[in-house]
């Protein structure tokens, strides 16, 4: 019940028939007047639900979110936009809201038309099934190639943050086909939510990669019911920011751990960079290197691939600054390079988690990234995705 753990929320997840047998449509709403914000993929090929939801968010505070799986409603032209609007209008009529107060999210096959008749019938069932205990069903209904539901909860003094996410493949900023819906009863004024959401996303969903693929549909939505009986202070704001970041970090970790075909989670830490931006560029380059990821799958501590990737991190029209004579690298707890000198040590990389720590020795810039290995199963899953 993570998405409904905060006060003032109801959710449901139903089988609308978009997918053969699994739940495929989720509905989350505030029980009263709420506020909210969202962040979206930066892919130039924006899915119709992203286009429509961005328009809605520009003129109203979100009170409900509809999520369908199975069909992305992306690259579907004008009809796709009409279908996304029809989804929001039907949900609004059922919930007593204005269409602009409803955000619509979709995930699944790109280029396929949205089966609006199935979606609206599913919304009828979902609206009837709305419950403060419906979080688990909602979290299940948004999945595609995921092997498990992804939920998280964090509490602070007098408030709760809950969230659900889906994502297993096509994971890479900006954003990392991931969707996340976050809910809180912490009281937020109109327009405030984005100031808390943006830094939380930057440190979590925008710092993960499974396959380096940026989706057309990525979205992270934050809804606040404002139902927590507390008086806001600077200290409570700080506590809320930490709780929100904890939920986002937890969900992001679950996404990478459930990466398509993944057998290993890699934690990348870059320090000593000339700037924070360059640290993140280097961490991202390592995380998305096919050579690094295949070595991780083979449990082969081929750490030279890490250095090669780090030295070719795109930055500001060139590559991020790096001096090979200053670089130190620790691979899964074993120092393999110290100030540019190899240590003739062989790390143990047999486990399900691998840490890669790179100190550039240039400055104070640092960044972290999560990634997974690249396995045979990743190719199989994506070769057979539509069948």
Q: If you write DSSP's letter for every residue of 42-68 in order, what string do you get?
A: --SS--HHHHHHHHHHTTS---EEEEE
Q: Which residues on adjacent β-strands are paired with residue 153?
A: 162
How many Cβ atoms are within 10 Å of 308's Cβ, its own excluded?
Answer: 15
For residues 378 and 260, is the Cβ–Cβ distance under 8 A? yes
Q: Which residues make up the CATH 3.60.70.12 domain(s) of the chain?
A: 2-238
Burial of 384 (0-12, 13-18, 19+ CB in 10 A): exposed
Indicate the helix (H) or strand (E) that contains 249: helix 234-257
Which member of 145, 177, 216, 371 is catalytic?
A: 177
**CATH code assigned to 265-383:** 3.10.20.340
For the stretch 174-191, pLDDT in tens is: 544 579 999 999 999 999
Q: Are 274 and 322 in contact (CB under 8 A)?
A: no
User: Active site includes 87?
Assistant: no
Q: In angstroms, how far is the first alpha carbon of the chain from the final one?
A: 32
212 and 170 in contact (C-beta within 8 Å)?
A: no
* CB of 104 closer than 8 Å to CB of 52: yes
* pLDDT the model gives residue 173: 55
Count the neighbouring beta carbons within 10 Å of the beta carbon of residue 21.
7
- CA 145, distance to chain mean position in Å, is 15
Candidate CATH numbers 3.40.50.11540, 3.80.10.10, 3.30.1330.90, 3.60.70.12; the one for domain 2-238: 3.60.70.12
CATH 3.10.20.340 in the chain is located at 265-383
Question: What number of other Cβ atoms are within 10 A of residue 369's Cβ?
Answer: 25
Residue with tokens 């096919």: 290
Residues of the chain with pLDDT under 70: 1, 168-177, 209-215, 382, 384-387
The CA-atom distances, in angstroms, between 131 and each of 12, 31, 339 are 6, 10, 58
**Contact by Cβ (8 Å): 242, 156:** yes
pLDDT at 185: 98
């Amino acid at each position: 019940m993570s998405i409904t753990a905060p006060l003032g929320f109801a959710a449901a997840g139903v089988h609308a028939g978009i997918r053969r047998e699994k739940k495929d449509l989720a509905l989350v709403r505030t029980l009263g007047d709420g506020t909210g914000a969202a962040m979206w993929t930066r892919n130039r090929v924006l899915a119709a639900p992203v286009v429509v939801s961005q328009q809605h968010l520009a003129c109203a505070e979100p009170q409900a979110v509809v999520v369908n799986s199975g069909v992305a409603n992306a690259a579907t032209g004008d009809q796709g936009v009409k279908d996304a609007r029809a989804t929001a209008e039907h949900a609004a009529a059922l919930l007593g809201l204005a269409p602009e107060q409803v955000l619509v999210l979709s995930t699944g096959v790109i280029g396929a038309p949205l089966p609006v008749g199935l979606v609206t019938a599913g919304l009828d069932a979902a609206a009837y099934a709305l419950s403060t205990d419906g979080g688990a069903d909602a979290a299940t209904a948004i999945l595609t190639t995921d092997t498990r539901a992804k939920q998280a909860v964090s509490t602070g003094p007098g408030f709760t943050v809950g969230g659900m996410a889906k994502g297993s493949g096509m994971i890479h900023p900006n954003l990392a086909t991931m969707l996340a819906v976050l809910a809180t009863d912490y009281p937020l004024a109109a327009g405030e939510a984005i100031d808390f959401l943006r830094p939380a996303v930057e440190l979590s969903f925008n710092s993960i990669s499974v396959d380096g693929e940026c989706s057309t549909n990525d979205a992270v939505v934050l809804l606040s019911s404002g139902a927590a009986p507390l008086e806001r202070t600077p200290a409570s704001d700080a506590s809320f920011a930490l709780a929100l970041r904890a939920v986002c970090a937890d969900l992001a970790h679950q996404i990478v751990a459930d990466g398509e075909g993944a057998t290993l989670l890699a934690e990348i830490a870059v320090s000593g960079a000339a700037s924070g931006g360059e640290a993140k560029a280097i961490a991202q380059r390592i995380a998305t290197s096919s050579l690094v990821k295949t070595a991780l799958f083979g449990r082969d501590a081929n750490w030279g691939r890490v250095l090669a990737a780090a030295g070719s991190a795109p930055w500001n029209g060139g590559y991020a600054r790096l001096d090979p004579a200053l670089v130190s690298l620790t691979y899964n707890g074993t120092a393999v390079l110290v100030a540019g000198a190899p240590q003739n040590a062989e790390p143990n990389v047999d486990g399900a988690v691998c840490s890669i720590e790179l100190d550039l020795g240039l400055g104070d810039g640092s960044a972290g990234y999560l990634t997974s290995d690249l396995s045979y199963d990743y190719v199989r899953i994506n070769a057979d995705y539509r069948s």
